[in-house]
Amino acid sequence: MGTPIRQLFDLSGRVALVTGGSRGLGLQMAEALGEAGAKVMLTARKTHELEEAVAQLAERGIDARWVAGDAGKPDDITRIVDETVQRLGDVDILVNNAGAAWGAPAEDHSLDGWDKVMNLNVRSVFLFAQQVGKRCMIPRRRGRIVNIASMTAFGGNPPGQETVAYNTSKAAVVNLTRALACEWGEFGITVNGIAPGYFHSKMADHMIEQVGADVMAARAPLRRLGDDDDLKGVVLLLASDAGKHITGQTIPVDGGVTAVLAQ
């Protein structure tokens, strides 16, 4: 007989650090981890949004804290990890969700925009993983890292959606996930990714308004956009013992859009 299923998904006593956790997809995933029993540390740049997010989680009985910082700045990343360990203990689960987008035609894309996207979407993912891996996970020979990529990692965009740096950065996250998984598997650390499709969020809503929610939903076999629950199951799987034999994988949660791209 194997382990009872509820026990496999139980995160009681574990510490989760969620970057970009003050709203949108990050907050959705933090909620799932907290409801499964984890103590959650949220980080993002804006204090007032973090305070609101922690209050929202507390209303659901979740033990949540916050620390403000800019994931695009290496010194802030060190400070965020320091404070998390000091206040909650070693990090068991890292969700690398912080990210940025920049829309511009490739021929006119600014260097500043390119660097901003790459630094936040790729460099910060590596630096958070490096800090948490070295300090909390490798010494204890266990840990779960979940990197948030995007379905745009697997192809180009339809005409009018010009986000060459974003697409490139998310493809890098997919392979960074594989590379870390291969290096750190011997330490009992799993490293996986989630590739969301079209979800309402502060980052995506401008594009959704421009293109039209109905048009974007029609591109997905399920004919819908993602909602406030659609990342909860997969992040809990990858963060818990239920996913202990999954590593190096990036799972699209996109209503089937990448299945169409693959044809």
Classify 193 as helix, strand or coil: strand
Closest CA to 96 of 30, 159, 162: 30
Closest CA to 243 of 186, 188, 204: 188
CB neighbours of 81 closer than 8 A, spacing ≥ 6?
Answer: 17, 91, 128, 131, 132, 135
CB neighbours of 105 closer than 8 A, spacing ≥ 6?
Answer: 162
* Nearest-10 crossing angle of helices 124-132, 74-88: 40
Classify 138 as helix, strand or coil: coil
Active-site position among 66, 102, 166, 184: 166
Determine the length of the chain: 263
Amino acid present at 120: L
Closest CA to 228 of 25, 22, 19: 25
Q: Is 198 a catalytic residue?
A: no
Rounded CA gap, 54 and 81, in Å? 18
In 9-73, alpha helices (H): 24-35, 47-59
For 190, which DSSP code?
E
Classify 152 as helix, strand or coil: helix
Read off the tokens for 187.
């330490």
Which residues are catalytically annotated? 166
